[in-house]
Amino acid sequence: MLTDLKASIKKSMNAIGVEIPEIMLPNKQVDLKKWAVVACDQYTSQRSYWHSVEQYVSDSPSTLHMIFPEVYLEDENSEQRIANIVNVMHKYIDENVLVPLPPSLIYVERTLSTGIRKGLMIALDLEKYDYHEGSQSLIRATEGTVLDRLPPRVKIRKNAVLEVPHTMVLIDDPEKTVIEPISREISEEDKLYDFELMMNGGRIAGYQVKKQAAVNRIINALAKLADPLKFREKYNVGEDKGVMLFAMGDGNHSFAAAKACWESLKTSLSEEERQNHPARFALVELVNVHDDS
């Protein structure tokens, strides 16, 4: 499907730090309303919220069993909870609870009180990210990274065989050239899921972006946003400022934990192995800051 990317597009992808991910989705028997839960760093002072989620989900297949709600970080059983997360990931793979899609992008429509927010699931290259203050990397943090928050997340990710991301990354695309046109490039046949989220979370739908022409257009549009001359003109900055194509909108510490895991792992890899190792890339949702919602 999207495995035979032309050399020119692959080169552009490498330059702007993106990759076509292999995403796994629940099989048709899974109750998706019980499957999808809010990010682990939400409701960190409200155990009652998480207790309600646990009662609703119970033993049903759910991302609840693959994340560590941070409201529980100080509990004594944290090591056992992490071990359980890893075991559940293996179980969901072994029992085909999760089924892999061919490498592809997923276009997302999230229904909110303010309208329908459009997003794009894509993988970003951690080699293009530096969360330290003053960084000029292509992917940058938009808030200070609290290093004390990283060790628990690194511990969870270190032995995980799956990634359950909640990272939203922002692009500044006032002409709406990257994400918005996708709605005209997909059809009802491309729909992967469409369901109500639990706990009054709204609704979410996802569409597989199958056409090579659509992928090419997305990559080329991102590359144009990353053009150094246009970037400096747009923001009225000098040559000492590097292009910032991707800004962390939410989930900065999860992305930073992914970076820490990659930096540790890559020391044991050859240069060739580093080029396409899965841990080098992190799955995110791209959102345009100019989205109407």
pTM score of the predicted model = 0.93
Q: Is the dihedral of CA 20, 23, 28, 31 positive or negative?
A: negative
Give residue-wise pLDDT tens across range 277-288.
999 999 999 999
CA distance 245 to 139: 6
Look at residue 74 in the predicted model and tell me its pLDDT. Answer: 87
- Tell me, what's the pLDDT at 187? 95
| Tokens coding 100 | 């892999």
pLDDT (0 to 100) of residue 219: 97
Distance between CA atoms of 197 and 65, rounded to whole angstroms?
Answer: 17
pLDDT by residue for the chain (293 residues), tens only, comes to 455 566 788 899 999 999 999 999 999 999 999 999 999 989 999 999 999 999 999 999 999 999 999 999 889 888 999 999 999 999 999 999 999 999 999 999 999 989 999 999 999 999 999 988 889 999 998 876 666 667 878 888 888 999 998 899 999 999 999 999 999 999 999 999 999 999 999 999 999 999 999 999 999 999 999 999 999 999 999 999 999 999 999 888 889 989 999 999 999 999 999 999 999 999 999 999 999 99
The structure tokens listed for 85 are 């997360």
